[in-house]
Amino acid sequence: MRLIDSAATFEKTLPSGVVVTLRPLDGPLFHAAQMAAATRAQASEGWPEGLDRENDAHRLGVGLSLMAQEMARLAVIAWSGVEDVGGDPLDCSPDNAAMLARAMPHDGEAIRDAVTRRSAPALVEGQKEGNASAPG
């Protein structure tokens, strides 16, 4: 089993070309992102018009999007290449990071995947071996 250094930041170039600096999320932060996403989903936040709450695929898609937004809110600590509508650099803040993940779904997915891989290596290694309950 490998433990993570929660202070070890890393960079990721997103599909849009934005470069983000991410911090791995330790257990409490990772679970905080999960709970925030679940709470928002239950409150019907993040549900675009036209999606059916009874449709499993729609629920999964919204859940993954909300998880990406909450992980971005907690993990993105710096970025380059993000501008406001006027072309001025946009400050990196938790709310702006969540907005990026929502507005650019492929970027949100890349953030979620990178943070998950860096934050939970034992879980990811266990899944590769076919046993998610046993650390690698």
Q: Let me know if residue 136 belongs to a domain.
A: no
Number of domains in the chain: 1
CB 94 within 8 A of CB 33: no
Q: Which alpha helices (DSSP H) does 2-103 contain, by range?
A: 27-42, 56-75, 94-103
**Average pLDDT for 11-22:** 96
11-15, 83-87, 94-98, 114-118: the lowest-pLDDT one: 114-118
Range of the domain at 58: 10-128
Instruction: Look at residues 35, 32, 8 and name the one whose alpha carbon lies nearest to residue 114.
Output: 8
**Average pLDDT for 1-28:** 83
Given strand 76-80, what is the order of strands in its sheet? 10-13, 19-22, 76-80
Q: Let me know if residue 1 belongs to a domain.
A: no
Q: Which residue has the tokens 């499993």?
A: 56
